[in-house]
Chain A
Amino acid sequence: MNLNNRHIKLFIGLIFIVFLSCEREIDLEIPQHESIIIVEGWIEQGRYPEVLLSLSAPYFGSIDSISIMDYSLTGAKVTISTDDDSEILTLTRNTKYFPPYVYEGRRMTGELNKEYHIEVIYRGDTITSSTTIPEVHELDSVWFGSVEDNDTLGLLYFQLTDNAEEKNYYRTLVKRMGKDERFIPTRTSVYDDQYFNGRTITLSLARGISSVLDTDTDSYYEVGDTVWIKFASIDKATFEFWNTYQNEIITSANPFSATNARIQSNIKNGFGIWYGSGVNIYSLIIR
């Protein structure tokens, strides 16, 4: 067999296609999905509770501005209660959130170290959950540090002294005035003190993305930004939820990721999170 250059080139060409591998769109038969009630609700000390409700959608099929209304849950009865008080929340429209409806409290505000129960009744289904607002913790300090060779961009840092006698979980969110509509979790947003129990540590607050579809993946802050930093104490279930949530977002399309990790919901008969936060808010003008 006479192998001229063209043949050899063709062979090699065919071979390295392997190492590029091949990717294509496929159709899959997916089992029917029965919608479940999704809860994202929170209560902070001194503030009214807020609860977002929706119905889960089948995995496949597009969502557009018409079908989205099918998954908004606007006709539910949402009750927040403590051992000695309760309040039925009121539905209001708020485009900061998605779907754009929030069930809000008008009378009862959160108190530290108190337990709060949620009950959602919708078309005969009742879903429940409970949470507490843990004691507030202070940061030692917060500051801005610019990146090398760039005076206008940088990261925020904070110093925290952890209480050795307590088991602590924390969450950090940041809102840039005039740029973000709401507090956005930082890139690493939840912390378990088992890695620094009783120690004084310094951590950075890399800017997170507001959604997985957000194309602004830069993690820096700019000189001139006014930022609000929300430092929240949370309980274990809340930590587990946001920690597994973060893992799921990072790894859901990655074959190398663990397969047994799932988002740990604290909602009975539904899915999502009802959480209390002991919150401290710090503001910083970056100069």
Chain B
Amino acid sequence: MKYIFTTLCILQAGINLFPQNNCQLQGSVYDKETNLPLQGATIYITPISKGLVTDADGSFKTVLECQKLTIEISFLGYKKQTHTIDISNTSELDFHLIPDTIIYDEVEITEEASLDNIESIKVGTMRLTSIDIEQLPAFMGTPDPVRTIRLLPGISSASDGNSGFHVRGSDAGHNLILIDNVPVYNPSHIMGFFSIFNNNTIRNIELIKSGMPANYGTRLSSILDIETNNGNNQKHEASANLGLISSDLYITGPIVKSKLSFHIAGRRTYLDEVIKPLIKSFISGNSTFYDYSKYHFFDFNFKLRYKVSPKNFISLTHYTGSDIFSLIKYDYEYKNRLRWGNNVYALNWNYLISDKSHLSNTIGYSTYDFDFTASRKDINIELVSSIEDINYKLEYTHHPNPHNILSLGFDYQYHRFSPNNIDATANEADYKFGNNRILYSHEGSIFGNYTLAINHRLTTSLGIRLSGYMHTGPYDEFTRNEAGGIDDTISYATNSILKKYSHAEPRINLRYRLTEFSSFKFTCTKNYQYVHLISSGAITLPTDIWIPSTKNIKPQSGNHFSFGYFFNLLQNQLESSIDFFYKDLDDQIELVYGIINDYNDNTFEEGVIFGEGRAYGFEFYSRKNTGKTTGWISYSLSRTTRIFDEINDGKIYPAKFDRLHDVSLVLSHSINDRISVASSFIFTSGNAMTLPEGRTIIGGNVINLYGKKNSFRMPAYHRLDVSASYQLHKKQRWESVLTFSVFNLYNRANPYYIYFEVTGDVYEYNLDVKAKQISMFPILPSINWIVTIK
């Protein structure tokens, strides 16, 4: 009895000392179509029969015992959803309810069943969350949204080591990338190995590859809309991802509880510091490239969100990041430095006028610049290119019921371009590269988009965007005499208008529901693009420059049609689609020479040529979102061509990123609560490239005679990546996960670039040519340790 008493005392003490395990359940409920918060939605926690109602912010929170729960989220006019979650393992939950277009047909949307694929009018929109991205094998253990979207149908990258991505045969510059509604111009670090987006800071990613609604524009092809998370307004959290070549740190928490929250994140690579000292232990002998070179990049993200009132929210987002590369070879007196980076500020004010209407305002500032300097002995060259933007966007959304949504608004951008400012000195001569030219322009649009469910089968979304553009002074325009010399200079004053363009951009989306589990969707959009990214080399580089439309450079335009059959199989477990598309592009731009060749008083305009583009194909996509095993398969069969009078004798030729076949297979499997594994496989047809077919000798040099433009194919690109993550610790206050990943598991040498090496001596009548392929990534294992403190 004494022992029993003692035991009870200890147990009691234990209970007192370690209070009951409580967890916070909090999150928000949104309309899936409009992304607006839903006030008054009900969250019902089944095991404990507890109900909650969302506030004007669409958010809810409560404190519960840590356990697995089943919760139901419902709201009048929307499909009910049921989710099973382990609240000890989650911090904040977002639910997106789907408007219920089948009246009185209450289909229970559970974790196992989603009809979004069938019902959504957003035809070519794909959504990813930071969790989706984390689940996949990550390059060097760093989850990356841009690398993940390249696995989706219709999206491809040019190759390893190429920044940017191509959507349905469009150029990398045809994508608008937004961070909290503000454009960012270069999404890549270290030539696309990493994107600039730190996955910790991301709440939601939406990729619109077709059927772009009228409230988006300014680019021909796609929108990558990245919404950063609002920070935790209840408690502090921190997580660190420690990797072999880079680490990042993320901290979030309230400044004023429930009112003012923040997140701050930083990432830096330490290739130089870690790898260089070790190189000598692996490579003996001669000094290598690494003895002379230095490289690192960093990112910094910061966000403040203030809940002014239950209907007013203000947030400030900041991103800055740079890549810095330098190469110094003392024996050749050679120095080279390349730096590029983005700098973005976004101030968003969201005002809920009522539970049926909403106003959002964004003021943004965004810059991108690169700076290249090279010197050898007494020759120096410096090339600077930059773009600076100030943006404003206002959007009013009214949704009297879930079947009708009206969006109205306008946006405005002020651009300041400095496309290719070059200073060069050779020996004592100072080369005259023309004035360092700055170009100013204004771009704006008014837009309206109306989504209407005509009946339970047919839903339409009709939009119009009226866009306008002005190139304004100050600007010096030259006229030339017959000899090509400058005859006269016309100086335009500040704000005087040199050229105006205005266009209407209609947008049509239709969805016809065939059966409960299938629908047809059709979209037809017209887009104009007034700022242009021009590529200087055979591969996409940070040195690609942004240029504005001017009198001589017309805006690019594009028409995009797509028709798809969307169907769910296996009781909605497999969301599938077959989508056909056709796209034509006008006033496409190419540089004739590189940007450095273009050093004259004429401005860059005389170095560019104009042509047309076309892309067509079909895509198959099937995705499983639920259960222990999730993933998708996507296949695209497409053709992408270009035609320019000055290239390939004016005949049509394949674009360099033309891919006949593009397959992705993504799988992830949760073995148990602690261990999960994932893999992704990609196969694409090889890049198109131009090869020399013949050669000759002129002036004592071997000269290549080229075949038709892009008539040759590089070998196909394929790669398998795998990863496994193992939860080392899981405590109430902290947890840690170890992830192992292997990039390019079977060590495929994928082609990055092919070049030719000529050896021998012309005058000895002895010459040989060998083709050499450069590949970027061999098999590449990595290990990361992710620690989260709650």
Contact = CB atoms under 8 A, between A and B. Distances in A.
Interface string A2-16: 010000010111111
B705 A271 contact: yes
B700 A65 contact: no
Nearest to A168: B483
Contacts of B426: 188, 203-204
B700 A255 contact: no
Contacts, number: 252
B108 to A, nearest CB: 43
B702 A212 contact: yes
A36 B705 CA distance: 10
Interface string B709-745: 0011001000000000000000000000010000000
Given A18-B776, A185-B699, A248-B703, A60 B769 contact: yes
Contacts of A27: 771
B256 interface: no
A54 B697 contact: yes
Interface string A255-281: 111111111000000011100000000
A232 to B, nearest CB: 14
A286 B562 CA distance: 73
Given A13-B278, A31-B707, A257 B537 contact: yes
Contacts of B704: 59, 248, 252
Interface stretch (A77-85, A110-118, A129-137, A192-200): A192-200
Interface in A86-102: 98-99
A192 to B, nearest CB: 8
B772 A63 contact: no
Given A19-B271, A23-B774, A256-B537, A245 B245 contact: no
Interface in B725-779: 738, 749, 751-779
Contacts of A155: 427
A97 to B, nearest CB: 8
A261 B593 contact: yes
A119 interface: no
A40 B485 contact: no
A88 B202 CA distance: 77
Contacts of A157: 427-428
Contact of B762 (A62, A188, A211): A211
A49 B238 CA distance: 80
A201 interface: yes
A151 B599 CA distance: 35
Interface in A236-255: 245, 247-249, 252-255
Interface string B675-690: 0000000000000001
A16 B754 contact: no
Nearest to A210: B700
A22 B749 contact: yes
A258 B282 contact: no
A68 interface: yes
A197 B429 CA distance: 14
Contacts of B647: 260
B673 interface: no
B706 to A, nearest CB: 6
Interface string B506-539: 0000000000000000000000000000001111
A98 B766 CA distance: 12
Contact of A245 (B431, B691, B703): B703
A177 interface: no
B753 A9 contact: no
Interface residues of B, number: 100
Nearest to A59: B692
B767 A62 contact: yes
Nearest to A252: B704
Interface in A45-73: 54-65, 68, 71
A167 to B, nearest CB: 3
B382 to A, nearest CB: 17
Contacts of B590: 260
A149 interface: no
Contact of B773 (A1, A23, A56): A23
B646 A260 contact: yes
Given A18-B778, A54-B696, A155-B427, A62 B765 contact: no
Nearest to A167: B483
Contact of A167 (B484, B707, B762): B484
Contacts of A26: 715, 751, 754, 771-773
B591 interface: yes
Contacts of B646: 260
A285 interface: no
B782 interface: yes
A35 interface: yes
Contact of A202 (B429, B738, B752, B767): B429
B761 A164 contact: no
Interface string A123-141: 0000000000000000000
Interface in B275-303: 275, 278-279, 281-282, 288-290
Contact of A14 (B541, B705, B779): B779
Nearest to B274: A12
Contact of B761 (A28, A99, A193, A213): A213
Given A21-B776, A31-B693, A211-B701, A260 B592 contact: yes
Nearest to B482: A167
B244 A11 contact: yes
Given A11-B783, A63-B765, A247-B597, A256 B541 contact: yes
A245 B304 CA distance: 56
Given A11-B783, A194-B484, A21 B692 contact: no
A179 interface: no
B536 to A, nearest CB: 6
Nearest to B759: A213
Given A60-B769, A210-B700, A15 B484 contact: no
A15 B193 CA distance: 13
Contact of B781 (A11, A31, A195): A11
Contacts of B427: 155, 157, 203-204
Contacts of A24: 749, 772-773, 775
27 contacts: A1-B738, A12-B275, A15-B782, A16-B271, A18-B777, A18-B778, A18-B780, A19-B290, A20-B288, A25-B770, A30-B712, A56-B705, A57-B695, A98-B762, A157-B428, A193-B485, A194-B601, A195-B600, A197-B486, A213-B761, A247-B593, A252-B756, A254-B755, A257-B538, A258-B592, A261-B593, A261-B597
A-B pairs, 3 with minimum CB distance:
A167-B483, A65-B765, A211-B700
Given A65-B766, A203-B427, A258-B592, 18 more contacts: A9-B281, A11-B782, A11-B783, A26-B754, A33-B705, A40-B698, A58-B694, A58-B695, A59-B705, A188-B426, A203-B426, A211-B701, A211-B762, A212-B702, A245-B699, A252-B704, A261-B593, A261-B594
